Structure 1
Amino acid sequence: MDHVDTPVQKAPQSLHGGAPAYLLVPHVYRGRTVSGAAVTHISRDLGTGFRTPAIELDDLIWSRTQAGPAFDLPIAHVIDFLVELGPRLHLDANPLMQQALESMIQVSPLGRRILENCYRDIPNLFARSVIEDELRISLGDASVIDGWMPRTLRGRPSRLRAFPPRLVHILAGNSPMVAAMTVMRAALTKGVHLLKLPSNDLFTATAILRTMAEIDPAHPLTQSFSAAYWRGGDENVESILYRPQYFDKLVVWGGESAVRHAMRYAGPGLELVAFDPKVSISLIGREAFASEELLGQVARAGAADVQSFNQDACNASRYQFIEGDEDDADRYCEHLATALSEDFRYGDGQGPVVPNDIREAVDVLREMEPIYRVFGGYDGKGLVIRSDELVDFHPICKTVNVIPVKSLHDATRFATVATQTVGIYPPHRVVEVRDALACAGVQRMVTLGESISDGVGGYPHDGMFPIHRFMKWISEEAGGNSSTETE
């Protein structure tokens, strides 16, 4: 296949009125770093100009006529390599990660403090205990990925293998952890993987892959990954790459538009695996009102769940249901608005300002007190709206809708298939609501304040075990005993 040049987009303006400044974004093809400035793009969130090499389509595929580089690599060797990789990703010791952080600041709205916290936490995803738990819970017996595992069904012998897949990963950029998590999980499949970089995280995945190449450029895992950027929706690239003769599945992270676009290419032989957009909520029992001090602590836990990547992650709480009357809810809202102005590990006390459409809607609600009450402001330090039903806008930028309910079970009627995480206080009351929440479509329940976790190490993600879903499950039944065989 020939290389493809994406059409040049409008250049950004220089801060000093001179020639526009561009970030240079490298591609990584099977352990080889490719630099260049052939194609100009604009990042989605901050409008930063960047340039990439031309897409070399031949470098983004692996031929089906031969096994992938790691298909026959023992899983124990895969784990050992990942465990060696983890410490090498430490920010203080890795110039590639340091350079990625500095560049990320120019394309990600998260800011230096949150991004640095993410980069410092990335090595934790490669701890042996995390990796082994992820593999064990997802696949059970590891022998099923190393070869053909014998089994007997109804007296008939057969063999089963979790065969290494060929995947395109369309990454989201709302957290650098997405790239790191993807590399770890993808490596454990022993398959071949193309990482499509998002414009708000152009550097994390490539820094990790380049670090793998520093360990061993010829290692089967290093040779199993490529990463490149092209504008999402570029049919010159996607109509060629997204085909079953090259890949088995499209693994999509991101918003509704990204998922719906990828669905266009899914069909026989090319499956869609979607980590699609979700909304998270909180349920807070009347026990929180035992004292004013406790209420403040509970509100801080509720704020921690709101603050997940400045409320830009699927696990970020947007709606919080309080078991009590309006006066109780208002007391909680006052504490919550104050807590939202504090820094959390993955959230800023001073976040992005509330967008105009939400501001205009809330201004109308202010005129309707006491039916609605508003706490906080539009300055990015936290905005809380108490109402009897859900507000008719999507809360973002540290905006929270608080709704009083008679019981926690009453709050379950607000859960849907789009609800990812539910934070619950006190935690023992999850027993009252977990079945109703699961029936409604909820995928995860945690103690209030603990919505942010590593998300790996044996836990399901969006209602599935990703590695299990990534694999191609092959049954070999030849040579077994059957009623049609003659003696």
Structure 2
Amino acid sequence: MTITEPTATPPATPPSPGLAPSAPAKPGKGKLRVPHVIRGRVVWGDDVEYLSRDFGVPFVTPRIDFNELITPRTEQGPAFDVPVSDIIDYLVEVAQHLDLEKNPYLQESLELTAQVGQMPRRMIENTFRRPGQFLTRQAIQFRLETTFRDPRMLDGWVAHTDPHGRTTRIRAFPPRLVHMLAGNSPSAAMTSIADAALVKAINVFKLPSADPFTAVAVLRTMADIDPDHPVLRSMSAVYWRGGDAKIENVLYRAQYFDKIIGWGGGAAINNIIKYTGPGFHLVAFDPKVSMAVIGREALADDETMRRVAELAAADATAYNQDACLAPRHIAVECDADDADELARLDRFCALLRERLNVDREFASAIGPATPSEIREAVDGMRFLEPEYRIWGEYDGSGLVVRSPEPVDFHPTNKTVNIIPVASLTEATRFANVATQTVGVYPPERKAEIRDLLATAGVQRVVRLGSAMTGTMGNPHDGMYPLHRFVNWVADDDA
């Protein structure tokens, strides 16, 4: 296959196997080096310079060579004939090597990611300690059994007979995927690599500028285990600036790939949509926001208010509220015309503000400062008391805003909007198709509103305080992702 678009100068000699980092992280002039992985082979180069999203830190990468990157349609992927059981064995082995204390690639990624992104170093460390929790044999097998009616369809053609006695053979065929990785958590890269392996896909991972290091660190670890493993050879990881038509006009074509797996903000997803069409589809993990709904039981007494405030804060501060599942609006069942009930709601708001200012596994007591647009909006509300009330400061320690309707700005950086509602049913009108997770207190009242929430477009209803906790095998963003990744093909004998 020959692609006529400009290609790179010959890549540098790939690093030799071994756990020692194979090139300096920083070349001259303070620019970080981001290697590419091309079909399992690490490639270094200083051909193109970029700036990271959060802090504008310069980094350099090799130039993309399309002829090296793209696998022709005439070739099956390297992992095509590898049994899923062997892939599970391999992923479990990889997870054992993703030990931050022993893995220099993760250690290097930790230091570099802390330089280019807003996530605090301690939270990155905690994230790097998680692979062993979701890359266990039991977790992977349970997920496959839940997602696929018969996981054997990942390995070959499985026969089924319909009520008329007609037989067909179905296969979950390995796809060709471009993954636009999320940059708000290193765990997204680890999960995406595991998912890509399980469906035996040919993969190109687009590295995010907020973290161009984690995916490469995982792939380099895989190379140390077995540089010729078919799963590794089916994977490439490269960086380009999102929206660069010179790259995307080539890659985003049905002649090369089946689907793009899109994580990212609205602008990034909208940019991808213009490339979709027959034979090239988008599986979108759309930008989402979350909320919480709290019954008046939470205001019963001071002890209960403290406990519920802690549950709400634990959810709202997930990744310093940068996670999709972190609630930004919390509707609380309360009669706003009753002075006593409103006073108890205000007491709850004050307690919530205190609990926002706490160090947690995936939250900082002091996070990034409140954005200027939120400060300006909140300053204007201070003249509208008592209908509006504010607790907290703009220093990243937490801000709570009580208002009669949801505020018209996007709460972020540990900013929580409290809205009194007459009933939990009334609170469901704040949900829409962009609402991912809704935490409910008390949990036994979820049944009252879950159908209304789902009708509005909500994808997940949880106990308040458990937004970061998920049951294995659940759908994500309204789908079973692996089911969407594969190409479903039938060999029909009718």
TM bucket, shorter chain: over 0.9
1:4 Cα shift? Answer: 4.5
Does residue 55 in structure 1 map to residue 70 in structure 2?
no
Is the 1:337–1:375 Cα contact (8 Å) retained in structure 2?
yes
**In the aligned structure 2, how far is the partner of 1:328 from the partner of 1:58?**
65
| Unaligned runs of at least 5 residues, structure 1 | 7-18, 482-487
1:279 to 270, 289, 293: 289
Letter in 1 for 2:417: N
After superposition, what is the alpha-carbon deviation per residue over 1:161-204, rounded to whole angstroms, capped at 9, x for unaligned? 10000000011100111111101111110111100000001111
Does residue 466 in structure 1 map to residue 481 in structure 2?
yes
2:202 to 192, 207, 228: 192
1:183-332 pair list within 5 angstroms = 183-325=193-335, 326-332=342-348
1:5 Cα shift? Answer: 6.7
* 2:339 alignment partner in structure 1: none
1:346 to 362, 372, 383: 362
**In the aligned structure 2, how far is the partner of 1:264 from the partner of 1:107?**
29
Which segment drifts farther, 121-130 or 48-57? Answer: 121-130
1:94 Cα shift? Answer: 0.7
* 1:176 alignment partner in structure 2: 186
Does residue 107 in structure 1 map to residue 123 in structure 2?
no
* 2:464 alignment partner in structure 1: 448
Is the 1:329–1:386 Cα contact (8 Å) retained in structure 2?
no
2:173 to 163, 166, 188: 163
Letter in 1 for 2:230: P
* 1:485 alignment partner in structure 2: none
SS where residue 439 of structure 1 aligns?
helix
- Could you say if the C-alpha distance between residues 456 and 44 of structure 1 is closer, same or farther in structure 2, counting changes exceeding 3 Å? farther
| Unaligned runs of at least 5 residues, structure 2 | 10-27, 336-341
1:231 Cα shift? Answer: 0.8
* 2:14 alignment partner in structure 1: none
**In the aligned structure 1, how far is the partner of 2:343 from the partner of 2:418?**
12
Letter in 2 for 1:49: P
1:59 Cα shift? Answer: 2.4
Which segment drifts farther, 58-67 or 233-242? Answer: 58-67
CA RMSD of aligned residues (A): 1.4
**In the aligned structure 1, how far is the partner of 2:40 from the partner of 2:203?**
12
Letter in 2 for 1:379: D
Does residue 146 in structure 1 map to residue 161 in structure 2?
no
2:427 to 389, 411, 415: 411
**In the aligned structure 2, how far is the partner of 1:99 from the partner of 1:53?**
19
1:456 Cα shift? Answer: 7.5
1:424-439 pair list within 5 angstroms = 424-439=440-455
After superposition, what is the alpha-carbon deviation per residue over 1:400-444, rounded to whole angstroms, capped at 9, x for unaligned? 100011111110111101100001111111011111101010000
**In the aligned structure 1, how far is the partner of 2:320 from the partner of 2:29?**
29
Which segment drifts farther, 46-55 or 321-330? Answer: 321-330
SS where residue 205 of structure 2 aligns?
strand
Is the 2:299–2:345 Cα contact (8 Å) retained in structure 1?
no
Q: How many residues align?
A: 466
SS where residue 314 of structure 1 aligns?
coil
**In the aligned structure 1, how far is the partner of 2:327 from the partner of 2:282?**
27
1:60 Cα shift? Answer: 1.9
2:38 to 26, 29, 33: 29
1:129 Cα shift? Answer: 1.7
* 1:13 alignment partner in structure 2: none
**In the aligned structure 2, how far is the partner of 1:23 from the partner of 1:124?**
31
1:123 Cα shift? Answer: 2.9
* 1:386 alignment partner in structure 2: 402
- Could you say if the C-alpha distance between residues 355 and 5 of structure 1 is closer, same or farther in structure 2, counting changes exceeding 3 Å? farther
**In the aligned structure 1, how far is the partner of 2:363 from the partner of 2:472?**
23
- Could you say if the C-alpha distance between residues 210 and 3 of structure 1 is closer, same or farther in structure 2, counting changes exceeding 3 Å? farther
Which segment drifts farther, 420-429 or 118-127? Answer: 118-127
Q: TM-score, normalised by structure 1?
A: 0.94
Letter in 2 for 1:56: D
**In the aligned structure 2, how far is the partner of 1:81 from the partner of 1:24?**
29
**In the aligned structure 2, how far is the partner of 1:123 from the partner of 1:27?**
25
After superposition, what is the alpha-carbon deviation per residue over 1:307-328, rounded to whole angstroms, capped at 9, x for unaligned? 1111111111100011113323
Letter in 1 for 2:354: T
Q: TM-score, normalised by structure 2?
A: 0.92
**In the aligned structure 2, how far is the partner of 1:222 from the partner of 1:400?**
43
Is the 1:86–1:125 Cα contact (8 Å) retained in structure 2?
no
1:457 Cα shift? Answer: 3.1
* 2:88 alignment partner in structure 1: 79
**In the aligned structure 1, how far is the partner of 2:315 from the partner of 2:446?**
17
- Could you say if the C-alpha distance between residues 414 and 184 of structure 1 is closer, same or farther in structure 2, counting changes exceeding 3 Å? same
Letter in 2 for 1:266: T
SS where residue 309 of structure 1 aligns?
helix
* 1:398 alignment partner in structure 2: 414
2:54 to 45, 54, 63: 45
Is the 1:28–1:226 Cα contact (8 Å) retained in structure 2?
yes
Letter in 2 for 1:401: N
1:343 Cα shift? Answer: 1.1
**In the aligned structure 2, how far is the partner of 1:310 from the partner of 1:417?**
23
After superposition, what is the alpha-carbon deviation per residue over 1:243-273, rounded to whole angstroms, capped at 9, x for unaligned? 1111000110000000000001100010011
After superposition, what is the alpha-carbon deviation per residue over 1:211-253, rounded to whole angstroms, capped at 9, x for unaligned? 1111111111011100000111111111011111110001100
1:361 Cα shift? Answer: 0.6
Is the 2:204–2:237 Cα contact (8 Å) retained in structure 1?
yes
1:290 Cα shift? Answer: 2.9
